[in-house]
Amino acid sequence: MPNFTLFIVSDSVGETAGLVTKAAASQFRHDLESVSIKRFSYIEENSQLEEIVFLAKQQQALIVFTLVKESMRDHLRILCEELDVKSVDLLGPLIDEIGNQLGLEPFEEPGLVRQLDAHYFKKIEAIEFAVKYDDGRDMRGVLEADIVLLGVSRTSKTPLSQFLANKGYKVANVPLVPEVDPPAEIFSIDPTKCFGLYISVNQLNSIRKARLETLGLKDDANYAKIARIQQEIDYFNEITTKVGCEVIDVTNRAVEETANTILKTFTARKAN
């Protein structure tokens, strides 16, 4: 697939246009390595549009835009026609049709969806929560969390916490180390909101060796030795059994796959 450049132009953050564009581009290449996506957010002036279209002409980019003001959409279309730049209006046609159906004029105020979407604010709060209570920094998070993750080092606790946080769930994760007593809080919470992350000894050995090499250290450190890893896994099994939580095997599983398994179980339990 040849290299291809996409410009995302928005009078707000541009998150919606970015997601839709990536979804479309992924139908042609899963890794998107050959697709360059550049975002231009909070565009409010025609002069900004003129600069963007000129740059798109130079780079032979496709412009994908979400602009709520009709005057700016029209100006951008005219600029693209004059410079022979391809563009796609994601928002305009939908705004026009909804307006026709309702018999109303749009507000044309950028960012209104942020004000109306409570889920957005819930997601931001959850992301901040995941950062604050990452890696057992503060055990109060265990009591306040929607989901608690338990696991030894390098079982993707942090990226999994962030992924779930982006879904709006408050997540705290706790590292389990044989030499350190587990926090008392994990034994007092509802075990149904707690998930243990198990990984095979051999895969964890490979992951830890790679981590040491990345840090410029020798891969024969105790941290990556099979005997040490087995000791940690045994301790993990002991603690998760005592907690009574569900254990998920994350060996050779992507973060997204593990997250979906957790959410499926978590939502099913809440429904009962």
Q: Does residue 214 have a known ligand-binding role?
A: no
Amino acid at 33: E
Q: Does residue 14 have a known ligand-binding role?
A: no
Bin 188: left if φ > 0, else alpha if -120 < ψ < 50, else beta. alpha
Task: Tokens 């697939």: give the residue.
Answer: 1
* Residue 177 near residue 231, CB atoms below 8 Å: no
Cβ-based neighbour number of residue 222 at 10 Å: 9
Tokens coding 81:
């026609």
Q: What are phi and psi of 144, to 5 degrees?
A: -95, -15
Q: Does residue 103 have a known ligand-binding role?
A: no
Radius of gyration of the chain (CA): 24
Q: Does residue 158 have a known ligand-binding role?
A: yes
Tokens coding 144:
């306040």
Amino acid at 18: G
Q: Does residue 154 have a known ligand-binding role?
A: yes
Cβ-based neighbour number of residue 59 at 10 Å: 13
* Residue 231 near residue 178, CB atoms below 8 Å: yes
Taking alpha carbons only, the member of 34, 110, 104, 99 closest to residue 72 is 110
Q: Does residue 244 have a known ligand-binding role?
A: no
Q: Does residue 155 have a known ligand-binding role?
A: yes
Q: What DSSP string describes 4-32? A: EEEEEEESS--HHHHHHHHHHHTTT-SS-
From the annotation, which residues make up the binding site?
151-158
From the annotation, which residues make up the binding site for ADP?
151-158
